[in-house]
Structure 1
Amino acid sequence: MPIRPEHRYFYPIDWRELSAEIRFRRAGSACEGCGRPHGRIVYHLGDGRWWDAQIGAWRDGKGKSLAELPTLDDLTGSLRTTRVVLATAHRDHDTANNTGANLAAFCQRCHVNHDRPEHQRRRWGTLFRRRAMGDLFRGIYPP
């Protein structure tokens, strides 16, 4: 995921090289969450299940082979394609902690799922501040 310009100074100067090391050398160009390969187009059902063409099997959102195959309705109704792009994520959401154990190579889906609680926490804080500013300058909100 791209780094916002206002957040660029929170990352080390060699972030591009560090990120490439994690994504391509350590993770072997595959997502550490689900195993999707970087740069390839994969077929998926939108709920995490995806077709791994390399082994010829369906995998779940965690990268494990499915015990039960998708139904024909699943395949005809919601089969989509996505180009997989790996990004390096901080497991604890602290951009100053760049140890190898804290960094993970995630595809778009796994990265968004990993960041979801942090995004919800930040969204709540933003809405709380906006409401407080409204109370301060415009009076109390109507019920």
Structure 2
Amino acid sequence: MPIRPENLLRYPTNWPEISRAIKERAGWRCECEGECGRGTHPGRCPNLHEGAAYGTGSTVCLTTAHLDHTPENCDPANLRAMCQGCHLHLDTGHHAVTRAQTRARALADAGQLAVDVGDAATPVMPPTRPQTPHTIPAPATEQLLLDLPTTPEGTRP
């Protein structure tokens, strides 16, 4: 995912190398095991970098996600290689917070008076989504067993 210009200085200068190392650690496969909250894949996400994304068939672009949404925290335990779908779902709450902050800043810059309603006006990250295992119901089938007579050795049926 592209880094927004206002956040560029928050990333270390060697971010490309850090990001590549995380993707190599993952074997160029999405490392998400449900923390994104999509609920569309049991266990680890099957998407491979530059492969076809499950469900859509679009080309997968592997990204490096900060689990705590803090670009300065490049501890490998805080970083996951994620396909763009999982990364976007992981960041949904973070995007809502930054969108509210950007809108408030734009209104203030335009001369809109802010109403102080205390902590209620401060955007807060929503709680993480509960992880629900994705299950596909098995189709109802009947098994037909045939009791066929055996043919003597060396003869054709």
TM interval, short-chain normalised: 0.5 to 0.7
Distance 1:116 1:83, change over 3 A: same
Map of 2:147 onto structure 1? none
Please say if 1:12 is aligned against 2:12.
yes
How many Å apart are 1:40 and its aligned residue? Answer: 0.9
Matches within 5 A, 1:49-60: none
| More strand as a share of residues | 1
The aligned amino acid for 1:126 is T
Map of 1:28 onto structure 2? 27
Q: Is the 8 A contact 2:11 2:71 kept in 1?
A: yes
Distance in 2 (CA, whole Å) between partners of 1:101 and 1:18 is 12
How many Å apart are 1:10 and its aligned residue? Answer: 1.0
Distance 1:5 1:130, change over 3 A: closer
Distance in 2 (CA, whole Å) between partners of 1:96 and 1:42 is 30
Distance in 2 (CA, whole Å) between partners of 1:14 and 1:101 is 17
Instruction: Report % sequence identity.
Output: 44
TM-score normalized by the length of structure 2: 0.58
Unaligned runs of 5+ in 1: 45-79, 137-143
Distance in 2 (CA, whole Å) between partners of 1:129 and 1:93 is 20
TM-score normalized by the length of structure 1: 0.63
Distance 1:6 1:131, change over 3 A: closer
Q: 1:89 aligns with which of 55, 58, 65?
A: 65
Q: Count the aligned residue pairs.
A: 100
| More helix as a share of residues | 1
Q: CA RMSD in A?
A: 1.6
How many Å apart are 1:29 and its aligned residue? Answer: 0.7
* Higher CA-based Rg: 2
Unaligned runs of 5+ in 2: 33-44, 114-157
How many Å apart are 1:8 and its aligned residue? Answer: 1.8
